[in-house]
């Protein structure tokens, strides 16, 4: 049980709260309501498999940096609770689960799988290359609503693209906020981020405007699909959450940028999904 717990911590299983609700949101919007339970099941397996493989791969590739980072001393791979070969096995198993789940969905999902998987496969290397690394992470998470939508409808449509844009901007800007506290560490180790390019204060300002754009995109999705008022209540809740998150962090004070702060951001994805569902009731 302790080994399983270590692996669950290594892949931050509870962080599924960011991508999975948006996969469901995409599926509900594509079908004009809840899809059949088999489709929902395989969307779930595919999403959990994809993000678990992505997190494990990221931790494996970044291990040399994590061992030097003072905030990451308790990570399972740093402490030795999880070994490298075990992580490789977990990555293979999760990719296998992703592949099998996609096989159960519409054929176009398999055709698009390489394109959908590419962002999370290359993301771990992006901080070594460009300050736009947050955008690549946003693109990877944006594949969640895209996958849910295509799994149900089998097509790529304008509302889906706007929804993906909203989700990508949301998580990319949030990653920039969370990474701003690592400006000094990243500079010292030759890594890149918005903070190293524009300073922590600049990164926070850019993230604020990105989140404004994110909320506008959510509103546009609702208007394009002519959704009922509960959907827009969800958008309002997401907006209030983001305003609060920005209010409690500044370039000179990151003490509230904790795991609680990180998980509170999940209110955005959960609210959007639940109120999207309610809009079809």
The encoded tokens of residue 188 equal: 């010292």
pLDDT of residue 16: 81
pTM of the model: 0.94
The encoded tokens of residue 196 equal: 């190293």
Residue 1, pLDDT > 70, answer no
Model confidence band, residue 264 (pLDDT cutoffs 50, 70, 90):
confident
Class of domain 2-278 (CATH, top level)? mainly alpha
pLDDT of residue 84: 94
Model confidence band, residue 76 (pLDDT cutoffs 50, 70, 90):
very high
**Among 13, 20, 6, 22, residue whose Cα is nearest residue 55:** 13
pLDDT in tens, 158-211: 999 999 999 999 999 999 999 999 999 999 999 999 999 999 999 999 999 999
**Among 41, 22, 38, residue whose Cα is nearest residue 30:** 22
Stretch 141-167: mean pLDDT, rounded? 97
Question: What is the residue extent of each domain of the chain?
Answer: 2-278
């Amino acid at each position: 049980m302790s080994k399983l717990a270590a692996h669950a911590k290594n892949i931050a299983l509870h962080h599924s709260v960011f991508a999975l609700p948006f996969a469901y949101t995409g599926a509900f919007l594509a079908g004009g309501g809840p899809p059949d339970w088999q489709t929902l099941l395989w969307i779930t397996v595919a999403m959990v498999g994809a993000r678990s493989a992505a997190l494990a791969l990221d931790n494996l590739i970044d291990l040399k940096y994590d061992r030097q980072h003072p905030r990451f001393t308790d990570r399972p791979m740093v402490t030795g609770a999880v070994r490298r070969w075990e992580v490789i096995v977990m990555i293979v198993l999760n990719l296998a689960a992703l592949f099998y789940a996609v096989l159960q969905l519409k054929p176009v999902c398999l055709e698009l799988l390489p394109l959908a998987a590419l962002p999370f496969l290359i993301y771990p290397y992006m901080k070594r290359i460009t300050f736009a690394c947050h955008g690549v992470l946003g693109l990877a998470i944006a594949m969640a609503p895209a996958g849910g939508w295509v799994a149900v409808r089998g097509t790529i449509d304008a509302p889906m693209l706007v929804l993906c844009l909203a989700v990508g901007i949301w998580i990319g800007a949030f990653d920039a906020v969370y990474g701003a506290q690592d400006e000094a560490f990243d500079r010292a180790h030759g890594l890149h981020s918005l903070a190293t390019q524009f300073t922590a204060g600049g990164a926070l300002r850019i993230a604020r405007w990105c989140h404004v754009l994110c909320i506008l995109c959510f509103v546009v999705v609702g208007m394009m699909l002519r959704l009922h008022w509960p959907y827009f209540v969800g958008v309002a809740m997401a907006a209030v959450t983001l305003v609060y998150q920005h209010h409690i962090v500044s370039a000179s004070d990151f003490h509230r940028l904790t795991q609680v702060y990180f998980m509170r951001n999940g209110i955005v994805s959960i609210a959007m999904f639940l109120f999207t569902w309610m809009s079809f009731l």
